[in-house]
Amino acid sequence: MQEQNKSSFFDPKTILALVLVGAVWFGWQTYLTKKYPNYNKPAQKTATTETTTTAAPTTGETTVGTPGQTVETKSTPGQVVAEKSFDFKDDNISFTITNHGMGLKNVVLNKYVDYDKNPIKVGQSDTESLFELKLAAQAAPVNFDLKEEAPGQYVGTAQVGESTVTRTLKYDVEKQAFTNKVVIEKPSAEIAQGVTLVIPEKVTVPQSTSFLMPSYQHQDFFVKHNGGKSETVNFSSAKENVAKSFPQVSLLSASTQYFSAAIVDKSEIIPETALHSNVAAKTAYAELIYKPAQASQTIALEQILYAGPKSIETLKAIDPELPSIIDHGFFGFIARPLLYIMKAFYTVVGNWGLAIICLTLLVRLCVLPFALMSAKSMKAMQEIQPLLQTLREKYKDDPMALNRETMALMKEHKANPIGGCLPMLLQIPVFFALYRVIGSSIELYHSPFYGWIHDLSSADKFYVLPILMGGTMFLQQKMTPTTMDPAQAKIMAFLPLVFILFMLQLPSGLTLYMTVSAIFGITQQFFFLRDSKKATA
């Protein structure tokens, strides 16, 4: 047995196994390259064309209004009416508001670009505009007489049958959100069938969903309904058309990882919602539907509208409900404190990569007492291996006696066979929580670290961090006492290679966390071994 333990790790069989693993890996990459040929190519820019409603022969062409000007149009729903619009732009957002439903077109978030340096757009559609007001009975936008009272402040009136509809939309530059009010006088039968606000979006199909080359691009509907229940519906990866509805809705959004268009209801009439997507057309839209009673004389609807980044501070300042659109996953109760701690570190060090390193060190220091207990337990297990082997030979025909004597021996020497797993188990929730934090926090979006790492939210293109992490894990394994037989030890030696493969396509911020954690583990093991030698000297 001792001779077997002393055998070199790099025997011919092990080397052959490593070669086979490498061959499988490169073969898999070749297969993925053929299956997903455009994975590593920049996304092709899609030309966006402005859809202008063609007016009747007697009406004028589409025009852009100026502040203070009233845009007069016929407001009969369903009738072809010339499209008139006003433009708005500040440091955060730019958009065009149209008299068709008073919806927003060409909504661009001016401070952000995507991974191909294209501007970030929200609420894209060729047929509908963001937050437009529609009649459910005719599936058509209400045509307003639109006036710009001041930059970012708009009022529109429309006649729908016997009903007069007045909509007021104001953009708050400081909060980066809209307040929307709709007053309906003498609701008609058309109004009673439903008035809707729309969030449309073009579906971006994920580039890849293979096992070792996953995609972290996703688009989801989020609905808070029935007094606090929440539902997330993915529409970018759906294989079939989405068609869902929910009653008593207080919050509705359509989001990517980092950006969202959302509606917070503040009306006395509780709305419902309908979610739709068309896989073939690559379109999706969500409707917030109000069905007022026709007997009412006047109905007032009110909402907060938002189109922008999913920043917790920004969303909280707008409305306490809005941060719900950020999905931190099952370990959200851990992810949120981690984010606040990381932000606190960022205010001190001024770099998100350094903040992640500080957070990693804090986590490792918190589990350090358990790690030391684990190391002592593993060392004790290693020391009693000869005694355990003697017990196995002595009680090989009596399993119950073997278990009894084994437990007594471990208790006497304070050895715990599962103690070595405790620090790792404690860090697993932190790993998954940090994964969600890095994958959904706008603060880390396109945030650089140093050197070759220009974006902590995307993978390390040069694979330096994953390989460094794997190397440190392998070294840590060699420094850690083990009670496994040589065959199990060789299998575990492949674990760093498996981690390297998994981390190749994960955000570099997460890989940085794992690498620093592994380096901390090596340092910890070095001092533990040094102190152990001094104690036994």
Inter-residue contact 291 to 228 (CB < 8 Å): no
Q: Which spans in 288-421 are helix H?
A: 312-318, 332-349, 352-366, 368-383, 385-394, 399-413
* Per-residue pLDDT at 510 exceeds 70: yes
d(CA 127, CA 137) in angstroms, rounded, equals 18
Tell me the C-alpha distance between 287 and 228, whole Å.
Answer: 19
Q: Is residue 14 part of a domain?
A: no
The answer on pLDDT for 436 being more than 90 is no
The last residue of one of the domains, among 307, 326, 345, is 326
Has residue 11 been placed in a domain? Answer: no
pLDDT digits (tens, 9 = 90+) for 374-398: 777 777 787 888 888 888 888 888 8
In a shared domain, residues 308 and 345? no
Q: Are residues 406 and 532 in the same domain?
A: yes
Please tell me the total count of domains within the chain.
2
| Most confident of the following: 260-274, 409-423, 518-532 | 260-274
Domain at 312, CATH number? 2.70.98.90
| Amino acid letter, residue 459 | A
pLDDT higher for 168 or 38?
168
CA neighbours closer than 13 Å in the CB half-sphere of residue 29: 9
Give the residue-averaged pLDDT of 459-463: 89
The pLDDT score that the predictor gives to residue 524 is: 86
Are the beta carbons of 316 and 322 closer than 8 angstroms? yes
pLDDT at 36: 43
For residue 74, pLDDT over 50 is answered with no
Pair (368, 350) in one structural domain: yes
Split at pLDDT 50, 70, 90, the class of 259 is very high
In a domain, 47, yes or no: no
**What percent of the chain has pLDDT above 70?**
79
Q: What is the pLDDT of residue 45?
A: 37
Tell me, yes or no, whether 473 lies in a domain: yes
Q: What is the pLDDT of residue 161?
A: 87
Do residue 231 and residue 365 come from a single domain?
no
Calculate what percentage of the chain has a pLDDT beyond 90. Answer: 47
Residue that finishes a domain, picked among 278, 296, 326? 326
Note down the domain range covering 142.
Answer: 64-206+214-326
pLDDT at 420: 62
Kindly tell me if the per-residue pLDDT of 48 is higher than 80: no
What is the pLDDT confidence band of residue 116, given thresholds at 50, 70 and 90? confident
Poorest-pLDDT segment among 291-305, 334-348, 488-502: 488-502
The strand pair at 195-202 and 220-225 is best described as unpaired
In a domain, 8, yes or no: no
Question: pLDDT band at residue 121, thresholds of 50, 70 and 90?
Answer: very high
Do 167 and 263 lie in a common domain? yes
Q: Which residues of 241-267 are buried (b: 16+ CB within 10 A; e: fewer)?
A: ebeeebeebbbbbbbbbbbbbbbbbeb
Query: Which carries the bigger pLDDT value, residue 494 or residue 486?
Result: 494
Q: Tokens standing for 499?
A: 């981690």
**Which range has the worst mean pLDDT, 120-124, 175-179, 490-494?**
490-494
What integer is the mean pLDDT of 498-505? 86
Instruction: Please tell me the least confidently modeled range out of 49-53, 311-315, 344-348.
Output: 49-53
Q: Over the stretch 197-252, which tens digit does the pLDDT of each residue have?
A: 999 999 986 655 444 444 557 899 999 998 889 999 999 988 899 999 999 999 99
Residue 93's closest CA among 264, 322, 261, 255? 261
What value does the mean pLDDT take over residues 440-469? 91
Confidence grade of residue 372 (pLDDT, cut at 50, 70, 90): confident
In the predicted structure, residue 270 carries a pLDDT above the cut 70: yes
Residue where one domain finishes, among candidates 263, 293, 326: 326
- Is residue 532 predicted with pLDDT exceeding 60? yes
User: Do 238 and 387 have their domain in common?
Assistant: no
CA atoms within 13 A on the CB side of 340: 7
Looking at the structure, tell me whether residues 282 and 315 fall in a common domain.
Answer: yes
Q: What is the DSSP string of 416-470?
A: -TTGGGHHHHHHHHHHHHHHHHHHH-GGGTT---STT---TTS--TT-HHHHHHH
Least confident of 40-44, 160-164, 345-349, 481-485: 40-44
**Whether pLDDT at 309 is above 70:** yes
- Asked whether residue 322 falls in the same domain as residue 340, the answer is no
Phi-psi category of residue 446: left, alpha or beta, with phi > 0 → left and psi -120 to 50 → alpha = left
176-185, 424-433, 504-513: the lowest-pLDDT one = 424-433
Q: What is the phi-psi region of residue 135: left when phi exceeds 0, alpha when psi lies from -120 to 50, beta otherwise?
A: beta
pLDDT higher at 41 or 280: 280
Q: Model confidence at 481, in pLDDT bands (50, 70, 90)?
A: low
pLDDT at position 146, please? Answer: 97
Q: Is 463 exposed, middle or buried (0-12, 13-18, 19+ CB in 10 A)?
A: middle
What pLDDT, on the 0 to 100 scale, is given for residue 204? 86
User: Same structural domain for residues 258 and 342?
Assistant: no
**Alpha carbons 257 and 450: distance in angstroms, whole number:** 24
* Confidence at residue 505, expressed as pLDDT on a 0 to 100 scale: 82
3-class secondary-structure state, position 382: helix
Do 223 and 78 share a domain, yes or no?
Answer: yes
Asked, for residue 31, whether it belongs to a domain, the answer is: no
Confidence of residue 23 (pLDDT cuts 50, 70, 90): low
pLDDT top residue among 161 and 107: 107
What integer is the mean pLDDT of 24-47? 47
Tell me if 300 sits within 8 A of 268, measured CB to CB: yes
Give pLDDT, residue 10.
Answer: 45
> What pLDDT is attached to residue 49?
33
Report whether pLDDT(165) > 90: yes
Domain-embedded: residue 41: no
Does residue 341 share a domain with residue 480?
yes
Is residue 186 domain-resident? yes
**Mean pLDDT for all residues in the chain:** 82
pLDDT at site 321: 94
> Looking at the structure, do residues 291 and 398 belong to the same domain, yes or no?
no
